[in-house]
Homo-oligomer: A and B are copies of this chain.
Amino acid sequence: MNLNDTIKTQLNHRSIRHFKNQQLDKETLNTLYEVANHTASSQFLQQFSIIHVTDKNKRTKLAEICNQPPVSENGEFFIFLIDLHRNVKLRQEANLDDGRLHTMDLYLQGLSDATLAVQNMYLAAESLGLGGVILGSIRNDIRAVSELFNLPDMVIPALGLQIGIPDEEIQQKPRLPLSFKVFENEYQDNLSTQDCQLPQSKDMGLVTHDLTVSGNNATSLLPHYTWLHHWVVGSTHLTNTFTH
């Protein structure tokens, strides 16, 4: 494989949720923001913004909204916003209507802009030896988040990103093989019933434990899809939690 530092960082990715009690310095934060700011945006409309949440009370409320206690703990927390407000304003000041900005197309453009910037900033952090986790769960209550951060009309929370100095060791979860995910020229339905056979539920419990807690190499014993199967079939709480 073609390996360089960037690709090594990418292939080594895992989600980190627990961080040391140490803030990032201003230079690092500025670097991360510059990376986000240099991400591609749809039509160069730059329809996203970032709120850095340093207020302890707001972090506590966010943790409740996300239903994830670590959100209120260590690590920096960023909210990535779909931001069509700036462009509405520019058009209004030029005496142009802003009708086109209210369409689903533009909303999806803003969502893409924000999401691409999240991944870029996340990877920049990882390249600096930091870790983090993306939180879709800020969408659990968009109205509450909007009130908490005084969001104007046309500004909508997209994703959260928590970043810090890792304070946990996490084993990487196995991915589905590429043959299930990458096709040529047309969609291929490559997942067969046979692929989906579950190990005994007791084994599943052990695997879960091994992968997330003890970190040993249990993954080689089981097919790659086990984890996916576990989440899709076994999960009773399909909320917006990002993991890797």
Residue positions of A touching B, CB distance < 8 A = 1-7, 9-13, 15, 27-28, 30-31, 33-46, 48-55, 58, 81, 83, 85-87, 89-91, 93-94, 96, 100-101, 105-106, 108-109, 111-112, 115-116, 118-120, 122-124, 127-128, 133-134, 136, 139, 149-152, 155, 159, 172-173, 175-176, 178, 180-187, 189, 191, 193, 196, 198, 227-229, 231-233, 235, 238-244
Q: Can you list 25 A-B contacts with CB-CB less than 8 angstroms, sorted by A residue number?
A: A1-B31, A1-B34, A7-B31, A10-B35, A10-B123, A13-B38, A13-B39, A33-B178, A38-B244, A40-B119, A40-B133, A46-B175, A49-B183, A51-B185, A89-B196, A90-B233, A94-B196, A108-B240, A112-B115, A116-B134, A119-B120, A149-B185, A149-B186, A150-B186, A152-B189
* Identical chains bound together, number: 2
- Chain B residues with CB under 8 Å of A198's CB are 94
Q: A86-B180, A124-B7, A231-B45 are in contact. Are A40 and B15 (CB under 8 A)?
A: yes
Q: Which residue of B lies closest to A1 (CB)?
A: B31
- Chain B residues with CB under 8 Å of A9's CB are 6
